[in-house]
Structures are given as structure tokens and as C-alpha cells.
Chains A and B, each alone.
Chain A
Amino acid sequence: MSLFADTGRGGALDLRTAAEQRSGVFVPLDGSLEAVAALPVARALARLAGATLHLVHVSERPVSLHELVHALRLLPGELYGSILDELAGTPADRILQLASELDRPMVVMSSHSEAAPEGALGPVAFEVLQRASFPVIVVRPERGSGPFVLQRMAVPHDGSRRTAGALGPALGLAERAGAALRVVHVAPAPGERLPERSRLPQYVDQPQHEWPEWAREFLERLEIFAGVATARAPARLFLARGDPGEEIVRFVAREEVDLVAVAWSGKADASSAATLWHVVGHCVCPVLVLRTAGEDWHAGSRSIP
């Protein structure tokens, strides 16, 4: 399973091989230092995926190439191995349009370019994320410009088939990078009411036996939902209890995760996207947002009566 979503244009039978299909990693740059922070991540992922790196600048009027390189604050050599696309129009529209022309696109972008409230996305990033049907990676500028090496990857999971949909692409990427995969299951905190289809153990008799078995069973079912085998990359299950967004952010920091892959239905309302906004706004590592079908993270919980 590829990290890159297939845009599937036209619905016609595409007989080209994967190698013949065009994949690209697009990095929107607006001339700010914050935007450039996405570059190391994008470059590393393009290399891993064998995709072309596109640096995209959208402005109202075209400028000369020399001026543009300067305006984008690119260091000498940063353009090497990439294509510079200069477009005119509305940034989000043009970025999405350009990406959609390829068979397998992905956008890697900074969460914001100017001072934004803590944990908030900039307007372009928000719009691209909301409208993109393909994978988007959001990088917080606080990450800085250090090299990006993917060694630990996390996939949060709430027990649903939808969140399992993130496993396949994440696994493919982890496998290419030789990274370890951490599946983190977030369940309500002790004392809180469990959702109807809780994936917590229904039974823990002898914990020394039940816990490892439960973890194994959990991963196995996840694999069946996702249609992939985690044996391809070393996977381990972790359990977190509490608010999903907070727990994912905490887990990412504690385990020093390099990239976290989050599944999202695309619904931007507060109850559906609360976890996503929290993760995108607070995770210290880049966040890969994958569009999957189904309901979003369970919202809230009540105490056991």
C-alpha cells in the first residue's frame, strides 16, 4: 500500500505501472522562514517515496527566478533536485490544483507562516488540509530546520476501522524508512464510560498473560482491517487512557516520535476534528493527515454510573 493516495482521475482503467505514475511532494513556500521549516521533512519523504519535490510559490504577479529564490529564503543548494513552480492566483486553490495534476501527490507544509495563536493553523494550511483528498503533512515551524530522519513513527488508533485505515500507508512509509512503528490505542481514562465498541480488554484475568495476548490480538485485528502485516516493520502496541488529542501529543513527546500519522474523515466541525486540531496544533513532530472513510475519534466520555 502506498503512502500516496491515488487521485484516480476519470475513473478510466489506468494500465500504467507504479513507476510510470507520477508522484510528487509539494511544499508551499511564501517567503517566510516558518514555511521553509517544512523543507527538510519534504525532502526526506520525497526521497523515501521516490517522488519529485516541488517547491510551490503562489503570488499575484510573477517575478524573476533569481528574485524568487531570494524571496523564498532558500539557501544555496536547497533548490537542488527539486522543481520550482511559480503560480499566480489564490494559494490554496493553486496548490491543490497543481498537486491534483499528478497521480500520487502529497503536500508537506508548515502549520503557519506568521505569528498565530498557539496551536492554531494558518489560513492556507487550514484550507489545504480541509480540501485535500491526498495525504498532507503539517510541520510546526518550532521544529526548526534540522535534518529529518524517520526512525520512530506512531499511528494513533481508537479501535475503529477508520483509524485502522492509516495503518497501511504508515506501515509502507515505516518499512521504506526502516522505522519502528508504534501503534497507540487511546481509550477513555479509568472511571470514564467506555464507548459502545470499546477495544479495551473485556477480561484481564492473569495480567502477565492477558496483556500481551490482548496487545497481540489488537494488532492482528488492526492488520486485518488495514489489510497489511505489521511484520514488515517492527510494530508495538501502546495503550493510553484519557483525552485522545492530549494523549497522542503526550505519547509523541514521551516516545520521541519522528512522525505521527492521523486518520481523518475530512469533517472539520469541532466534535469530529477536535482530536486532529489538537494533534496538529501541539505535536512537536510532523503530523501526517490521511483521509479515511468512517466516523472520527469518539467524542467525550461519561463516568460509569
Chain B
Amino acid sequence: MGAATGARQDVASLDRPFRVIAFDWDGTAVMGRKQDARHVCKLLERLLRDGVSIVVVTGTNLANTVAQLSPLIHEAGSHNRHLFIATNRGSEVYGFEGRPQPVPLFRRAATPEEDRQLTAAAESVRAQLQQDFGLEAKIVYDRLNRRKIDLIPVPEWADPPKSAIGKLLEAVQARLFAAGVHGGLQEVLRMAERAAANAGLRDARVTSDVKHVEIGLTDKSDSVEWMVRDVCGKKGVHLSDVLIAGDEFGPIGGVEGSDHKMLTPSSRGAVFVSVGLEPGGVDPEILHLGGGPPRFCQILAAQADLRAGKRPFPVATRAVPLPLPVPVDDPVWTLVQEGVDLSREREYETIFSVGNGYLGTRAALAEHNPLASSPATFLAGVFDALPSSQAVPELALAPDWTRLRVSIEGREVALEPATALAHRRILDMKQGASWREWRYHDPSGRVTRLRELRMASLAHRHVALQVFEIVPENWSGRLVVEAVVEPASGIVAGLPVARPRMLAVPGPRDDGVLVYRTGGKGLTLALATSSQLEGSDAFPILPRLRAAEGVSVERWEVDAQLGETYRLERVASFYTSRDAKSPEHLAKQRLTSAWDAGASALAAAHAKAWRERWEACAIEVQGDPAAERALRFAAYHLLIAANPEDERVSIGARTLTGESYKGHVFWDTDVFMLPFFTFTYPEAARALLMYRYHTLDGARGKAADAGYRGALYAWESTDTGHETTPRFMLAPDGEVIPIVSGLQEHHISADIAYAAWSYWEATGDDRFMAEAGAEILLETACFWASRGVWDDEGRFHIRDVVGPDEYHEGVDDNAFTNGLARWNLRRGAEVFEMLRRRWPERLQELSRKLAIGPDEVEQWRRIAAAMELSIDAATGLIEQFKGYFALDDYDLAPMRAQGKRAAPMDMLLGREHTLRSRIVKQADVVMLLQLLWDEFPEAVREANFRYYEPRTCHGSSLSPSTHALVAAQLGDIPMAMDYFKQASEIDLANNYGNAAGGVHAAALGGLWQVAVFGFGGVRVYREGLTMDPRLPPAWRSLRFPLQFRGAQLEISVEADRTWVRSLGGKPVAVTLGEAPRQKLSVGEELVAARVGRGWRSAKEAP
């Protein structure tokens, strides 16, 4: 009876109003006959009032259907004349004609002979099953024009829900196979067809709903035939204006579904949609959306909106959800936090954050806890300031898109130690996902299993996904779920938040997009979200949008069944006025495409993007899983902070994982994080440096304001590059603390120049150097030339600065500053020559723009040569700044003896005392050694490290990794490991006590450097890459990928063997140990064996 109906359907075919909508009732419009159908009735009423003809097609009798449709029949009034109910599998049709009583319009009445034949056929099948297979079957006689043969007349399958069709099929087939019916359900159908023919029925309709095989005189094709003839024909409706929906079009157990009967030759041209599970798939001409009755209701709502002239809220037109990934079961790829400790909740929320460089969302409790939890989403580059003259710009709090309210039998679910039978967070770093698993035990004894997944898509940076599963373990009852989007509350963890927030833009919208704006600059965010709840009998209440308040609430009320899984999927799309003038359209568009793809496809694309990233950066450490995991954690958080697609943002000190440091960008990014990106993700590194290029004007302005030339970068930078460091602050002890880093911490200009040069040296990205890097290097060199003064003896001094050791302010000739400034001047001169040689037009352009000529460059060389940076001939020591050696010495050894490697000494001793002492806050001279290693003889490096290390209290998270790196390069592996561990625990063990405010990204970048540059011994020279590995004894091997000048390298270090392999890209020069330099092409491998303290290498063909 079936027939092909036309071309392949796609989701766009629903994006127009239909004049006739026909649909199966049970399983399509409602989950079951006991379900409250008021919601679907309301939607149907809207359509009827608009003149849409509604044809309900059902296998059951009129009384059953009318009971559920009564609100519609009674309230629609005269509009119910467009309502038709085709009952009893095509045997009857009723209309209403404006009255509340049904009026029969069509009836196929069986003759007594036909009735006898139906009974005879059914009984013949039953007898055959009994006699041939010993299988008991029951016949349902009291159906109009048909007989039903129950193939599984057992109590547990007396009234199976539609959602259990898969399990029902398994049970029926198992029963048939066990009895010897090897053809299963199909064989019984053939049996019924033969029996019907033998009984004399000429056009018997044999169908199955899996539980039963039915022999009848009519089926749903008769209902559709009537509709085409009596509705479409009489009203002149073309078939293309007809929508036919069902849930069982595809085959089940080899038998075509009952709704397949609605595909008839006369219905060709209509649009067919299935909202069922369809485990056997559907014909291509049927649009398979899945989602059950909730999805069907969304279709009806969209139709009503279209007729009302509104753009519907994203129609749920998407693939059937597939299983989502599960967390990887590998401890080096996961972080797991067990239990509930609300006092540490905020630090966990930092560590388990998700992000993608465009947005970052803390792993706050979706259900909220106003005391313990700090939900926050940040969007890179969205800075604004509070309306106060003292306020500096900071990252604005975006609306909370993750909020869920879940209540079970009226009691709201909340995380508390007393109600959590088990609670676990899992950060799946491999797949870039954050999970929560929770067994909730309410005071009445109900146990519910909850599971949440969050992702910020790495494949589509404007999209985020949340999945929340609810499983009643020991109860059935009312479950209410609300997916809420709302502006950041202004109350975080019980405290009023004094920071910029994105607030709702007043005014209703009809496209479901929520629009928010920051108070100062008026940056706009368009946020589009859509959610769905999947469950066995989920009863949908469609999104209720209160756009004027910037709040959207999507609410579901479900009679939840014990053991069923209710899965909420929410997709959110973010665009700001930084991306486009009218971000609303983009947000909507992106949401629609993401929604079409479905959560599983989103998750799959996200996982693929993460696979690619990890292939480029995952470090393997055999023998030390804690170290390996710490390195993965570092890489994870660096990756979720970076966005190669946006070169007008950089990475703040605490990334997008917390509010501390206000999202401000420090030298942390350029010196500590950038190498990771340069060698594993050069596109991201380039974007970070381009941010510095685009903020050059701000740096020029700061230099000019201070009376200097060139570019003086902001110590704390946001979107414009202007200085955003506060000048003063009021400490909690009432002391007014002057903040001089914005005024005096000038080394940042050289740090950025160093970063730009290092990137170019490691990548060979000439285009970057010509277009941006050169300008940075020239402008910063220009600054240094104007920043210092000559003395009478011809020495050049830089006075009144703060070096990395911020305990000592206003010092002269800080070694780090002078050393980097000297390097900057020399590289500036070198870049000038390079431009002249390679890009003369660009040099001309820059010379004009920056007013720099050969004379000035010559002066840079003279200044560099005269820069004050002396090394004591006797001791080899470099004085950290002028007068440092005259300060009080202070022995930190007792503190170390207590196991404390880091301490805020200015806090412990008092500011004055610290200023007078030689206590160093963080690596300063040691940092100089790290960055300019080859400028100092080995003895000088050793002497200075041994002198300054004991005097450093590591009052900055930047310090331990620097000490680990320098210790490793000096060959002091035990000390390097000590500092490596300390650096790795800054966030993972919260050993600085402030992880709640966000991860310490510089420490994470530093950790990567320790592994690759320290233990891996990688260094970059103009001639190529060199390696002198020093493996910690506990590490059996260290393996890492590296990108170098267009080559993809893989490096493996073992105690007595090291190899470098080229996996792709350009040939590059590599030197292993003291062996001669060799060129490595694709597929080639360089192997070295340890001999004594060095390495012997040989080039080997693959």
C-alpha cells in the first residue's frame, strides 16, 4: 500500500505555514492515553483559529481520543469545524462542525461475513502458533473492523509505553525465537496475511505495533485517503501544503511501521515528518527529527508563530540525539574531585572550567548555591568599567547560561553534604569537557542520579553545550526542570559583586535571542539558547521568554518514571558587538545550525578539534603520572584560553576562569605562556602577538605621557592597550598602598619585544615580522633609547624602575630591565638591518611613520654597549639593582625547613622591613639568566642562581617554574623537580590559596617550559634547534610534539637515548648535544645515545 512520496525532505521544508496538518496521535502528539494533553490542545487551538485543518489519525476508538482532546473540542468553539478525528485505524472519521459533540463523517462498516472472516483469520494464526510452536497468543476481538493477536500476553508487557518499543521488540522476538518461530515477527505477519487470504478477505490490512499483529479491513492509509479527498479536495489545498507527522514510519523488527501506511499514492507531495525513535531508520523522503511529542509540539508552536507573523523560536529540527561521549577512563587525562566541600567549591569551579578562547564558563553549580558557588561566564575582550573615576576596565560578567532549577515532587534540588550520597566532578581534558555526577538523596528518601556535561565548543567557538541527565532511582513522580538564562546576579557567593555586568536590553524581541549590554561602553551581547528535554513521557511546556528582562525560562513538567533517563540538552550561541554590528542575527543563525546538528554532532566536532590540538601538544611522561597529568592540565587551560581567530584579544593572568586580575593582560602572556603556543599552536601565538601590535598606539600614548619616545606597553592591558593599573589601593588593614607597577615596571616593553622576536625565530613567520613584529621591536627599542640617561663616565643607566622583584620599587639599574633593554636595542638595530635587506619598502614606510633613521639605530648600538649591567669579576654576581648588596640579608632557610617554599614576605615582615632586605619576591636576575642564557658564562649563571635562589620567597606564581627551568638547565635536577612540583600544585593543590579567582596561567605556561626547555633541553638558535636533554631520574621517558619553522617534530627522551623525528613540513636543522648539526627532512629521524654527560648522534634513514 505504501508509495514513495517525493523528494528528500530537509528541515527548511518546515519553515512555512501548512494548511492541513495530519498526525498520528499516540506516540506523536502524546506519549500515552493517560497523559494530560492540554498543552498540545492549546497549540492545536491556535492553529484551528487560524483556519488550519487538523486531522488526528489514531488506531484507537473515538472515546479514548475525545477524552484527551476534550479541552480542544470544547474550547475551540466554531473553530473546531476544522478538526477531524480519524479513528479505529482508518475505519471512521468524525468532525465537529462548531459543536462539542462529534459528528460521524465516514465509517467503514464490516459486513457480518467480513467480521466472521476477520475472526477466522485471527484464530487461525493463534492456532498455528499454538500447534506448531507451542506459543500462547491472545486475540483482542472488540475492535472495529479488525482483530489483534497479542504475541506477548504477559503481565510485564500488558501496556508498554511507546518509549519502550526497543525493549518490547527484543522481548517479542526473543519469545518467538525461543518458540522456534525463526522468522520472528515478520514470519507471524506472513502467517496472518496467509490466514486472511485463506479466510476469504481480499484486501486485508495486516499491520503490527510489535506487541500485536493486527488483521483488519482498514488502516491509516484509509484515513489519509479520506483526508486527501474530503479535506484537501473540498478546500482546494495542494498536497505541498499538507504536513503529515507520525512516530513509526520506519521498519521495526523487519516490519514497516504503522505510520508508513500514511504514505499513499494520493498523499504524494505532502511533507512527512517523524518524531519517533525509528531505530530502523526511515525512507529518505521522510524528515526524521526524533524528539517525540515534545518535538511535535515545537513544530506546532512554530507553525502557529509563523501564522501569527512571528519568526518562530528555533524550531527543533535536528537529528535524533545519539549517546554522548563518556569521560575517558585514564587518570592522566582526567581530574576527579570526589565529595562535597562547599568551602572549597569556588576553587573547584575554577579548575573544572570549560572554555575555547572566545568564552569561558566556570564549573559553577548549575542549580546554584548562593553561599558557595560563583557562576561566571566571561567573553574575551568584553571589557567595561564601573561608573567611577577610580574604576579600571575589567571583564564584564556575561549572563549565566547554565542555570538549571530542578525540583522533585516540589522540592528543589540543591547540593549539600547531607543530601549528596555521592558527588564527583570530572575534568576530561582529552575531550575538553567538564562532568558532574551526583546521587542526590532528598529528605524523604528519594534517590536521584544526576549527571551534567559542559563543553565550550572548540570547533565552533561561539557555541556552548550543556547536557543534564536525571534518573529517578527509587521513585516516580513529578519532576520539574527549568533551563534558565539570566543576567549575572550581582550576588556571587553571597557577596554583592562590584564589577561590570551585562544587563538586559529592554524591549521585546520575537526571535528568541536575548540581548544584553554593558553599562559603560555599551558592548552588546546576543545570546541565543535552545533546550529540549528527552524522556519517556516528557510533557513539554514550550519556552517562556521574558526578553524584556533578559531572562528566558524553558520549563518542563514531567511525570517521571522510576529508572527512566530524562536528558536536557541546551545549546547556547554567543556573539557580541565586537564580532558584528548586529550580533543578534549571527547568534540566531549559529544556534540554528548547531541545533540542527544536534548535541552529539556538536560533541563529536568538539572532540575532533581537541584531538587535533592534543596531537600537537600532548606531553607524555613515563614513570611520573602526576607530572604528566599536571602538564596536561597546564596545556588544557592554556588551550581553553587562546583564540587564534581573534587577534584583538589576549589572555588575562587568570584566563577566562575567574574574576581575579579583572582579565587584565600582563607580561605573563608574552613571557610565560607564549612559548607553549609558539611551539604547539603557532596560529594562536601569532594572534597573541598581533594583540600587542594592535595595542601599540596605547603603548605609544603611555610613553608620550611619561615624556619618552617609542612604545611603553601597559603593565596591565585590556582592549585598548592603555594603562589600566590602579595607582593606589586601600588594603583591608586601612593602609593606602601606592601601586607603582603601572608607573615603573617598564621591562614589559622589552618582554614583548623578546616575545615577538622569539616567535619569529621559532616559526620563521616572516610575514609577521615584516607586518607587525618589526614595528614592535623598533618602537620598543626607541623607547629604551629615550628612557635612560648617560653618566659622566659614558655608562647608560635606567633609573627609577621596578623589576620583576616588586618588593623593591624605584630602583636604579635593575639588572633584568637593563639586560632586556640592551637586548631590545640590539634586536631593534638588527630588525632595522633586516628590513633594509629584505623588505626595503616596509622600512621606508616604518621610517616615515616612526621617524627612525640609521643614525638613531647607530645610537641604539652605542647605548646597548654602554648599558649598565656589570658582573663582579671576583664573585661572578650580578647586582639585582644598584645598592642591592648593601641591604640587610635575611635567611629564608628556616622557612624552607618548615616546608614552605613560598611566602608573602611583605605581609609577614611588613613592607618597610622587606624593602630594606635582600628578600626577592620572584625570579629577577634568575629570570634574566633564563631569557638571555647565552649572554652569560656558565660560571656566572651558576653563581647567580646559587646566590639568588635562597633569597627568593616566590611571592609570585611566576617564580617557581622559572627556578625549575634554570635549575634543570644548570643540571640540578632534584631542585628542578622540587620547583616543578611546586609550580604544578599552584592550582591543582591551591598552594597559593587563591585558585578560586582563576587559574594561574603563567605558572601553567612555565610548567610546559620546564618540561620542554628544561628537561627536554630544547633551545632555538638562528641555525636551528638544539637539544641537550636532562631527564629526571624518576621519568623513564619524556615525549612531546613540537612545531619548529614549519616542521612537525616528535621528540622522545629517555635516560640513554633520544630521538627527534620529522612528521611533516619543511626540513629543519637539529643539533643533539654536542654532535654536529644535521638537517632533518620529513620521515627522517635523528637518534642520539648518551655518552657520559653528552650525546652522540647519527642521522638514520627511516
Contacts and interface: CB of A to CB of B under 8 A. Distances in A.
Interface stretch (A92-100, A127-135, A142-150, A220-228): A220-228
B997 A204 contact: no
B904 A201 contact: yes
B663 to A, nearest CB: 11
Nearest to B897: A305
Nearest to B346: A220
Given A203-B902, A213-B994, A238-B732, A230 B909 contact: no
A239 interface: yes
B371 interface: yes
Nearest to A238: B732
Contact of A191 (B371, B894, B909): B909
A17 interface: no
A74 interface: no
B732 A224 contact: no
Q: Which label, helix, strand, loop or mixed, suits the secondary structure of the A interface?
A: mixed
A15 interface: no
Contacts of A304: 894-895, 908-909
Interface string A209-238: 111111111011101110111110011011
Interface in B491-511: 491, 493-496
B371 A229 contact: yes
B993 interface: yes
B590 interface: no
Contacts of A215: 732
A190 B342 CA distance: 31
A220 B659 CA distance: 14
B494 A213 contact: no
A90 to B, nearest CB: 44
Interface string A170-214: 000000000000000100001100100000111111111111111
A237 B730 CA distance: 12
Contacts of A224: 342-343, 345, 371-372
Interface stretch (B355-363, B456-464, B733-741): B733-741
Given A202-B904, A231-B496, A190 B910 contact: yes
A155 B234 CA distance: 82
Contact of A204 (B659, B662, B955): B955
Contacts of B908: 190-191, 194, 200, 304
Nearest to B902: A203
A230 B492 CA distance: 11
A49 interface: no
A221 B343 contact: yes
B737 A202 contact: no
A240 interface: yes
Given A202-B993, A214-B994, A223 B732 contact: no
Contacts of A190: 907-910, 913
B927 to A, nearest CB: 15
Give the one of A202, A205, A209, A228 with max B CB within 10 A: A205
Contact of A207 (B737, B894, B958): B737
Interface string B940-958: 0000000000000001111
A228 B661 CA distance: 27
Interface residues of B, number: 50
A175 to B, nearest CB: 13
A229 B370 contact: yes
Contacts of A22: none
A245 B2 CA distance: 91
Give the one of B345, B372, B994, B996 with max A CB within 10 A: B994
B902 A185 contact: no
A229 B494 contact: yes
Q: Which label, helix, strand, loop or mixed, suits the secondary structure of the B interface?
A: loop
A231 B902 CA distance: 34
Contacts of B904: 200-204
A241 interface: yes
A220 B495 contact: yes
A205 B910 contact: no
A233 to B, nearest CB: 11
Nearest to B958: A205
Nearest to B496: A231
Interface string B147-160: 00000000000000
B733 A231 contact: no
Contacts of A241: 733
A217 B496 CA distance: 13
B495 A203 contact: no
Interface string B31-45: 000000000000000
A211 B729 contact: yes
Given A207-B731, A211-B732, A230-B494, A217 B996 contact: yes
A302 to B, nearest CB: 12
Nearest to B489: A231
Contacts of A223: 371, 493-495
Contacts of A211: 729, 731-732, 737
A208 B725 contact: yes
Contacts of B909: 190-191, 304
Contact of B732 (A194, A227, A230, A239): A239
Contact of B661 (A200, A204, A209, A219): A209
B722 to A, nearest CB: 16
Contacts of B494: 219-220, 223, 228-231
Given A190-B908, A191-B910, A201-B994, A220 B493 contact: yes
B907 A201 contact: yes
A70 to B, nearest CB: 49
Contacts of B346: 217, 220
B1097 to A, nearest CB: 42
Contacts of A229: 370-371, 491, 494-495
26 contacts: A185-B732, A191-B908, A201-B907, A202-B991, A202-B994, A203-B955, A204-B904, A204-B906, A205-B955, A205-B958, A208-B725, A209-B661, A211-B729, A217-B346, A223-B371, A223-B493, A224-B342, A224-B371, A227-B371, A228-B494, A229-B370, A229-B371, A229-B495, A231-B491, A238-B733, A239-B731
Interface of A: 185, 190-191, 194, 200-217, 219-221, 223-225, 227-231, 234-235, 237-241, 304-305
Given A205-B956, A231-B491, 12 more contacts: A191-B908, A191-B909, A205-B806, A206-B666, A219-B494, A225-B343, A229-B491, A231-B370, A235-B495, A237-B732, A239-B733, A305-B894
Shortest beta-carbon contacts, A-B, top 3: A229-B494, A190-B910, A239-B732
